[in-house]
Amino acid sequence: MPRTFAIGDIHGCLDKLEDLLNKIDPGAKDTLIFLGDYIDRGNAPAGVIDLLVELSSNTNCIFLKGNHEDMFLEFLEFGTNRAIYFANGGEATVKAYLGASSSNNLLEAIPDSHKKFFSQLRLYHEDNKYIYVHAGIRPGLPMHRQNQQDLIWIRDEFIYTPTGMDKKIIFGHTPFSRPLVLKDKIGIDTGAVYGGVLTAIYLEDETFIQSFSG
């Protein structure tokens, strides 16, 4: 029977991602929905993307864009957000790519498969029961009227307000010590990069699978 899982913010924690995937043991008929923030802060951001690219060749994967991927792409294209990007852990990603390459040019140092990965990220995904998004939605607005800023950055205005949607929202972005389970939303960022666990939710029965902590 095909299974569907959503997975929270990884932030370069390759070891926790590997542990979680070993526990899920995804097959070709399963669907894994990743909620964004694959890079920055952790010590293996490029390794995380390598693993996700490889995983997507054997398993149906849906990759959403987080605010950290958005900052990274803006830094690549314009470079004008360096201060805020580095203050949010971006230096770890830049150093990881440059350190693995003989080039001093960041754009040249990024493998083509990674460029393709970043270029194809979605802002949200929807199925029959759930809406999956990185940060949340602006309550009271239908999905076609949502804007990118809210989808990848919103916090309290979404978390503490009823969404008004018919479908439950599965989101990351805001870290909790354990998954936040409310009537209309479930938050699964459990602070993997801050010593917490990396969390997946199995959507069939809304149960959680988690990596080691620390």
- pLDDT value of position 103: 85
Question: What average pLDDT does this structure show over 108-113?
Answer: 96
Plot region of 164 (φ>0 → left; ψ -120 to 50 → alpha; else → beta)? left
* 91, 93, 98, 99: CA torsion to nearest 10: 100
152 burial (CB, 10 Å; 0-12 / 13-18 / 19+) is buried
Question: Which residue segments constitute the domains of the chain, with CATH numbers given?
Answer: 4-122+176-210 (3.60.21.10)
Contact 183, 165 (CB under 8 A): no
- pLDDT value of position 94: 97
Question: What average pLDDT does this structure show over 89-118?
Answer: 95
- pLDDT value of position 83: 97
- pLDDT value of position 212: 97
- pLDDT value of position 149: 98
Report the percent of the chain where pLDDT is more than 90: 97
Question: What average pLDDT does this structure show over 86-113?
Answer: 94
Contact 150, 156 (CB under 8 A): no
- pLDDT value of position 157: 97
Place 214 in a pLDDT band, splitting at 50, 70 and 90: confident
CA neighbor of 86 nearest in space, from 77, 98, 95: 95
Question: What average pLDDT does this structure show over 31-54?
Answer: 98
pTM of the model: 0.97
DSSP bridge partners of 122: 64
Q: Mean of the per-residue pLDDT values for the chain? A: 97
| Alpha helices (H) along the chain | 14-24, 45-55, 67-77, 82-87, 90-99, 106-109, 112-119, 148-153, 156-159
- pLDDT value of position 57: 96
- pLDDT value of position 100: 86
- pLDDT value of position 102: 86
pLDDT digits (tens, 9 = 90+) for 155-187: 999 999 999 999 999 999 999 999 999 999 999
In Å, what is the CA distance from 87 to each residue of 15, 40, 91? Answer: 24, 10, 8
Residue 88: how many CB atoms within 10 A of its CB? 15
